[in-house]
């Protein structure tokens, strides 16, 4: 059963692409190859434009246009992935000796889907054990996680366990991520 919401969104985007292709274009005339060629040629023009010396404003404008394009392509890709998953579920065959994987051969391509989670949900098991007045640690494996507590580091230096330089080497390597204006606005709302 196809995801009609995604399919409808994909159809609307396809229609917008066809309309932008020209007044005489129709879905029957527009092929995946022609759309792909048009996109490739447009990206070559963008690459040529980016090879020039550009002002920060021009770079910003290009960034947001590419961001819009990336979002539209990602939405289409997700729509296609969902539809492929549905086709594999409907027409595929179960892969023997797996935990529910299904496979479908389509031309020169083999599509597989596999369940992302199998077995028991640890949170449900824990809740069930607690409801029966049993300690989960007696019936389940436990993981111990350590968190850094920088307030204790001065004592490590005082006791001579670490030098200040050794502690500095334990820090993350300083890296930077670009925060777009939209992300910046969202963080400050």
What count of Cα atoms within 13 Å lies in the side-chain half-sphere of residue 111?
A: 16
Helix or strand or coil: residue 22? coil
pLDDT confidence of residue 34: 86
- Per-residue model confidence (pLDDT) at position 28: 55
Query: Which has the higher per-residue pLDDT, 110 or 32?
Result: 110
Same domain, 11 and 78: yes
Domain assignment of residue 109, yes or no = no
DSSP 127-140: HHHHHTT--HHHHS
When divided into structural domains, the chain yields a total of 2
Count other C-beta atoms under 10 Å from residue 102's C-beta. 19
Same domain, 146 and 78: no
Same domain, 63 and 134: no
Query: Do 38 and 85 reside in the same domain of the chain?
Result: yes
54 is a domain residue: yes
Could you tell me if 74 and 137 lie in one domain? Answer: no
Domain boundary among 90, 114, 136: 90
Q: What is the pLDDT of residue 27?
A: 59
Q: What is the model's pLDDT at position 133?
A: 95
Most confident listed range (5-9, 28-32, 114-118, 163-167): 163-167
List pLDDT tens digits, range 83-104.
999 999 999 999 888 888 899 9
Residues, the chain, total?
A: 189
Domain end call among 90, 112, 135: 90
User: Is the domain of 17 the same as that of 69?
Assistant: yes
Q: Which of 70, 90, 110 is the last residue of a domain?
A: 90
Q: Is residue 32 situated within a structural domain? A: yes
Name which residue leads in pLDDT, 166 or 176: 166
Q: Does residue 188 fall inside a structural domain?
A: no
Residue 114 counted as domain residue? no
Say whether both 21 and 74 belong to one domain: yes
User: Is 131 in the same domain as 78?
Assistant: no
What beta strand segments (E) does 22-180 contain?
93-94, 102-106, 109-113
The domain of 13 spans 4-90
pLDDT of the residue at 185? 79
User: Is 165 inside a domain boundary?
Assistant: yes
pLDDT in tens, 33-83: 888 888 899 889 989 999 999 999 999 999 999 999 999 999 999 999 999
- For residue range 115-171, what is the model confidence (pLDDT) as tens digits? 887 788 999 999 999 999 999 999 999 988 889 999 999 999 999 999 999 988 888
């Amino acid at each position: 059963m196809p995801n009609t919401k995604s399919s409808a969104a994909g159809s609307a985007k396809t229609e917008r692409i066809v309309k932008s292709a020209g007044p005489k274009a129709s879905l029957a005339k527009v092929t995946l190859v022609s759309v792909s060629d048009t996109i490739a040629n447009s990206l070559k023009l963008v690459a040529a434009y980016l090879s020039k010396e550009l002002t920060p404003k021009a770079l910003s404008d290009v960034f947001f246009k590419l961001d819009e394009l990336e979002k539209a392509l990602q939405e289409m890709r997700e729509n296609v992935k969902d539809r492929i998953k549905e086709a594999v579920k409907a027409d595929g065959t179960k892969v023997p000796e797996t935990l529910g994987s299904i496979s479908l051969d389509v031309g020169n391509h083999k599509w597989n889907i596999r369940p992302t989670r199998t077995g028991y949900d640890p949170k449900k098991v824990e809740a069930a054990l607690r409801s029966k007045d049993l300690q989960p640690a007696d019936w389940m494996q436990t993981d111990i996680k350590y968190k850094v507590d920088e307030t204790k580091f001065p004592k490590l230096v005082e006791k001579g366990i670490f030098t200040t330089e050794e502690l500095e080497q334990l820090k993350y390597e300083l890296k930077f991520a670009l925060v777009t204006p939209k992300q910046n606005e969202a963080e400050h709302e």
